[in-house]
Chain A
Amino acid sequence: MSDPMRIRAQVQGDKTTVRVLVSHEMESGQRRDGAGKIIPAWFIQSISAVYDGKTVMSAQWGPAVAKNPFVQFSFKGGKAGDKVSVSWVDNRGDKRTDEAVIS
Chain B
Amino acid sequence: MKWSLMGLAALCVLPLSAAAQKSTADGIAEYRAMLQDGNPAELFEARGEGLWKQARGPKNVSLEKCDLGKGPGVVKGAFVELPRYFADTQRVQDLESRLLTCMETQQGFNAAEIAKTPFGAGEQKTLESLVAFISAESRDMTFNLPQSHSQEKLAYEVGKRLFYLRGGPYDFSCASCHGEDGKRVRLQDLPNLTKNPGAGNGFGAWPAYRVSSGELWSMQRRLNDCYRQQRFPFPGFASDATIALGVYMGVNGKGGVSTAPALKR
Distance A67 CA – B43 CA, assembled complex (angstroms): 12
A20 to chain B: closest residue by CB: B38
Chain B residues with Cβ under 8 A from A21's Cβ? 38-40, 42-43
A4 to chain B: closest residue by CB: B46
What sequence of 0s and 1s flags, for each residue 21-34 of chain B, a beta carbon within 8 Å of any chain A beta carbon? 00000000000000
Instruction: Confirm or deny: A23 has a beta carbon within 8 angstroms of a beta carbon on chain B.
Output: yes
Q: Is the interface of A mostly helix, strand, loop or mixed?
A: loop
Q: Which residues of B (8-64) have their CB < 8 Å from a CB of A?
A: 35, 37-40, 42-43, 46-47
Q: Is the CB of A23 within 8 A of B38?
A: no
Q: Is the CB of A68 within 8 A of B214?
A: yes
Distance A70 CA – B211 CA, assembled complex (angstroms): 12
Q: Is the CB of B43 within 8 A of A6?
A: yes
Instruction: Confirm or deny: A38 has a beta carbon within 8 angstroms of a beta carbon on chain B.
Output: no
Distance A23 CA – B37 CA, assembled complex (angstroms): 15
Q: Is the CB of A6 within 8 A of B46?
A: yes
Q: B34 CB to closest chain A CB, in angstroms? A: 10
The residue that B35 contacts in the complex, of A4, A23, A67, A70, with Cβ under 8 A, is A70
Distance A3 CA – B44 CA, assembled complex (angstroms): 10
Q: Is the CB of B46 within 8 A of A19?
A: no
Instruction: Confirm or deny: A66 has a beta carbon within 8 angstroms of a beta carbon on chain B.
Output: yes
Chain A residues with Cβ under 8 A from B42's Cβ? 6, 21
Q: Which residues of B (150-170) have their CB < 8 Å from a CB of A?
A: none
The residue that B43 contacts in the complex, of A19, A66, A68, A72, with Cβ under 8 A, is A68
Q: B95 CB to closest chain A CB, in angstroms? A: 22
Q: A72 CB to closest chain B CB, in angstroms? A: 8
Chain A residues with Cβ under 8 A from B37's Cβ? 19, 70, 72
Chain A residues with Cβ under 8 A from B43's Cβ? 3, 6, 21, 23, 68
Distance A66 CA – B214 CA, assembled complex (angstroms): 9
Distance A90 CA – B47 CA, assembled complex (angstroms): 21
Distance A68 CA – B44 CA, assembled complex (angstroms): 11
Chain A residues with Cβ under 8 A from B47's Cβ? 3
Chain B residues with Cβ under 8 A from A4's Cβ? 46
Q: Is the CB of A3 within 8 A of B46?
A: yes
B215 to chain A: closest residue by CB: A67
Distance A70 CA – B263 CA, assembled complex (angstroms): 13
Chain B residues with Cβ under 8 A from A72's Cβ? 37-38
Chain A residues with Cβ under 8 A from B46's Cβ? 3-4, 6
Q: A35 CB to closest chain B CB, in angstroms? A: 15
B214 to chain A: closest residue by CB: A67
Pairs A–B under 8 Å by Cβ, sample size 29: A3-B43, A3-B46, A3-B47, A4-B46, A6-B42, A6-B43, A6-B46, A19-B37, A19-B38, A21-B38, A21-B39, A21-B40, A21-B42, A21-B43, A23-B40, A23-B43, A66-B211, A66-B214, A67-B40, A67-B214, A68-B40, A68-B43, A68-B214, A70-B35, A70-B37, A70-B38, A70-B40, A72-B37, A72-B38
Chain A interface residues toward B at CB < 8 A: 3-4, 6, 19, 21, 23, 66-68, 70, 72
Chain B interface residues toward A at CB < 8 A: 35, 37-40, 42-43, 46-47, 211, 214
- If A19-B38, A70-B38 are given as contacts, then 18 extra A-B residue pairs at C-beta distance below 8 Å, sorted by A number, are A3-B43, A3-B46, A3-B47, A4-B46, A6-B46, A21-B38, A21-B39, A21-B40, A21-B42, A23-B40, A23-B43, A66-B214, A67-B40, A67-B214, A68-B40, A68-B214, A70-B40, A72-B37
